[in-house]
Chain A
Amino acid sequence: MNNIDRRTFFKLISSGIAGAIGGKLVTPGIAWAKGTNFHSDEFYGILVDTTRCIGCRRCEKACAEANNLPVPDINDTSVFNHERQTSVIQWNVVNRFETEKGTVFVPRRCMHCNQAACVAACLVKAMKKRKTGQVTWDENCLGCRLCMVSCPFDIPKFEYDKAIPKIQKCNLCWGRFQDGKPPACVEACPMDALLFGTRRQLLEEARRRIYQQPDKYYHHIFGELEVGGTSHLYLSAVPFEQIGFRTDVGTTPYPEYSKGFLYAVPFILVLWPILMLGMSQVTKRQQNKE
């Protein structure tokens, strides 16, 4: 299976279409650094093919090392006994699910929504949606935690136990990206379960996989439409409810939910004073008559 993919990909890349997609699919580190149109003004993302993930947790280790987080012991399989959430020291966690098609491993991390709720919530733009798709956090944050209340995937995590706390979450290796490197987890994956590229290319690749192996995949790309689209895209062999996804998040971008209110603001700001001045004039005249 893998070989077919690799060959197809090699063709795609050499013909220049695939652009930034998965250098490591060819030879790790080489095609990535050279000859790729890396900094196009498009959203980048990661395609997670859960049918390929073997739960080795090397992505967890690489993530921790790249982002100065405590490095987990990846030989400890007891972590799979219960479903884990990301945490202030783990931006990326692999969970194990028993499904109708057997055991499935699923790496979970920030989805990097196209129109992110956390970004719309932030009153100082500490949460930013970068031009190239990464949702990043900055130190000018107030720690109000509205991003946590708003996030449909409950991703931002707050360091309650620190006097100088931060919001912790995956930033799609924003620092590495600026140095022209793919996210650490993608580089570490031995199974090509993670694929880095522009969102457009990833969607094409995801569709191709479903098309070529219709029996293998559940025919849905999680993140294509969910909450208005996300930069992390997931493929699965089973319905997404079975592997810990909330499938009722809808396809409306979350900022839309507070837009109605925000649109009303300028109207009220202009109309209210005029109305009240008018009323005040009327009552003044009445008072003078008396």
Chain B
Amino acid sequence: MMNGRLDGKEITSLSEFFRFFRDELKPKGKTIFTPFNIISAPIIILGFVLIILRLVIGLGRPVTNLSQDFPWGIWIGFDVMVGVAFAGGAYVLTFIVYILRSEKYHPIIRATVLNGFLAYVFYAGAIFLDCGRWWNIVNPIIGREFGVNSVLFLVAWHFLLYMLAELIEFSPAIAEWLGLRRIRKILGSLTIGAVIFGITLSTLHQSGLGALVMMAKWKIHPLWYTEFIPILFFVSSIFAGLSMVIFEGSISHKVFGHQIDEAHHKAYNDILVGLAKICAVAMFAYSFLKLIVLVHDQEWSLLKTGMGFWFLVEVVGLVFIPCILFIQGSRHQNILVIRIASVLTMLGIIINRLNYVFIAYKWYLPFRVRYYPTWIEVVITLCIIFTEIWVFRWIVNRMPVLKHPPEWVRENEEH
């Protein structure tokens, strides 16, 4: 039974479910020894060992290079800040598909929502590792105590609620996989509510991540510190998320190509061109905002310094230039240019978020006391990324994410 329950049989008993689930746990590919598996599996295993080490001996050396001067490293800067920005594609696309009702993007909505959901589970979940007192992580949820005036309190709640919203948005695919017709119908009717709720939450916590560093006023280089950080974080999450959709989609379509029908393959280039256009608009708005902030704060002279050069690399090299590339790529229907632009954009987002956490943060400190990640921090981060990809692959191979939903779904909807 290759397609699980997509044939339309319904699971009626618990033991049947367990048998079904056990079968589904087995790998689907012809061989387990693909190049990706050979590279990722050892890193995942090593990563889990190192996670145990981190829990046993704490956050200090040799686990991380964090210090009193640099309390946040790549686990916050990359895993959480960048991970959440890259997951922004889900709220942007659900807005386009469910609110603006643009049918064109429907074929990629499930993969994007799944990616967004897993990104929150794994990357926002990385907070758990970074929390020095991780056993207290439920405190803001259970009210020991509610720090309602804290930006982080808002972000924590939003992460949790948004994960639920995304799970609800994706849940019809799970119901289809399990062949649960009635439940599928109920879950499907929740989608629009979850979408509206999810977009609202995303607006707030994408900008909220930026608001976290607002009190680090003099610690962040004046070229980066502005009262508009939350707005900049929000706008950049739009093109960060969509670039990730373009990048991930390009890989998914190669790897899972056999699951996708011919019509979708043809429509896909059209989708990419459309996404490139949205990216270009958002990036243009972002560049413009950056320019206004720069003019307003009158910090031209700082551009001539080393940090000024770094600022230009980020804003011109990795926002404005990919913006132009997106425009060119969509005008000439050049998918390669669009893909290059998406990679450059993602690089720009990584640099931007890391700037706020440890590069432009305390830029005035000498190099010898500056933060850079240890190999353990890097391996654990890779472990999290690879595990997420494994889970993503496991789900895509089983549930109707890229492939068509089973026949009975259409029958149901017509009735």
Interface residues of A (CB under 8 A from B): 85, 87, 117, 120-125, 140-146, 148-150, 152, 154, 157-165, 246, 248-250, 254-255, 257-258, 260-262, 264-265, 268-269, 272-273, 276-277, 279-280, 283-284, 286-287
Contacts and interface: CB of A to CB of B under 8 A. Distances in A.
26 contacts: A124-B144, A124-B147, A140-B144, A142-B136, A143-B136, A148-B68, A149-B213, A150-B215, A152-B217, A157-B68, A163-B55, A163-B57, A163-B58, A246-B218, A258-B214, A260-B230, A261-B207, A261-B214, A262-B151, A264-B230, A268-B200, A272-B203, A273-B200, A277-B196, A279-B99, A283-B100
A288 to B, nearest CB: 10
B160 to A, nearest CB: 12
Residue from the set B99, B140, B214 with the largest chain A CB neighbour count within 10 Å: B214
Given A261-B151, A269-B204, 15 more contacts: A124-B140, A125-B146, A125-B147, A140-B144, A144-B127, A145-B72, A154-B68, A154-B69, A158-B59, A160-B61, A164-B58, A257-B227, A262-B211, A272-B199, A280-B99
A160 B199 contact: no
B97 to A, nearest CB: 11
A124 B156 CA distance: 11
B58 A160 contact: yes
Interface of B: 55-61, 64, 66-69, 71-72, 95, 98-101, 127, 130-134, 136-137, 139-140, 144-147, 149-154, 156, 192, 196-197, 199-200, 203-204, 207-208, 211-219, 227, 230, 361
Given A149-B72, A277-B196, A284 B153 contact: no
Contact of A142 (B140, B214, B219): B140
Contact of B71 (A149, A152, A260, A265): A149
Contacts of A272: 196, 199-200, 203
B71 A158 contact: yes
Contacts of B127: 144
Given A124-B144, A254-B217, A258-B214, A276 B199 contact: yes
Contacts of A117: 215
Nearest to B55: A163
A159 B219 CA distance: 21
B29 to A, nearest CB: 40
Contacts of A249: 218
Contact of B133 (A142, A280, A287): A142
A227 B251 CA distance: 50
A165 B147 CA distance: 21
Given A257-B214, A265-B204, A162 B58 contact: yes
Nearest to B65: A160
A283 B204 CA distance: 24
Contacts of A273: 196-197, 200
Residue from the set B66, B133, B134 with the largest chain A CB neighbour count within 10 Å: B133
A50 B140 CA distance: 41
Nearest to A163: B58
